[in-house]
Structure 1
């Protein structure tokens, strides 16, 4: 989407340094957007994504922020306001899982981390985006895509019901916010990936479990980050102009 002045507008992708987030950031750039690539720790990975976007001739910026920390989120949006074209979209992609466990083996610290990042982080980032996008606040409109999960409807028993519950919250958040902003030029949707072949499974200790599940999947394969990114970018685009409050499964029939 081009700005009124004819130049690109900015998409902020949280957790944009790897996996689905990186795929979304790169596909947005291919469609002509400037991109703010948020990361929590891996600066080198974020910088690599930014360099690829700049190689396409578009503005890009790596912005560090732990989305569970309000002060860091505010600083991130301030940097984007200063260094990039006006914001037109947010992809709330930053999220974490933990090692497989039952509820009776989960600590409060684990639960707080899951909900602080996956839920609170998405709320605060969306709040700041709304202040810039909504016509009620003088914005030109735009779109928000929240990253949910098929786990929200499956529950993920014996693996991570905390993660599944956090994504259930994201589904409800998406439905409510979509209706709240429908008359203010901002569309809000969610994408619910199934089993996707990204490094998050290895870093959280779920790699073997993912590989074991593949033969049981309807399509007999895991999805790819690029396949999820295609759905996200469609929801951001004008082609989805009458789509808001949707929960779009990209789960291979699971």
Structure 2
């Protein structure tokens, strides 16, 4: 029996603010953690009275991870990525390995101008942090495979393909995993001015991103957003393409959960 869909995502928009968020759960109860994080993290982010935006983001991630609703879940965790526009400034924040991008479209070309950091166990700083507390990082010889951090759970040994996450307290206890987000930001005000260009946000889980060429994905999304029609049909086509890729790779036996949120910024 397969696991339930473990991805959760949302999109909130107003004249002054855009918030796209995605949570990609993993483990036996990853869907529970992702669902609770979806309900908790954006609420904490938007209700915070802290004036410093990056501090608001950091506290929202860490407080969500420490909340009783998350702490009581065993054998599960989730990545978390947000794309948050306030006025003309865009913030991308992540813990884990999901994708967040700010993209500029101009004259038929889509260019990534800001990308959320991904946390893989083999990344030099992440590996050093894990090994400093006695953890083990597996780095496969095949470059097509991802590195993993090992830790024990009540169900046996877990080999997790990310070094940061929300939940996964069996890996948090020895210090291998952390929930600390990485945050990057860009002010779009100097680049605004109309013409044939615009910006859009993408947040997506690796089940889709790893199976579709990024240039193809962004070109198709940019063209659909430019026309202002056909985005829903295109997204379904992209998901179907990724599904076929998974079927070939895994001989029909498995596919990862696949989710994407796309929105054009109207500043």
Relative to the length of structure 1, the TM-score reads 0.30
Higher relative contact order (CA 8 A, sep 6+): 2
Relative to the length of structure 2, the TM-score reads 0.29
Q: Larger % of helix: which? A: 1
Rg larger for: 2
Q: Larger % of strand: which? A: 2
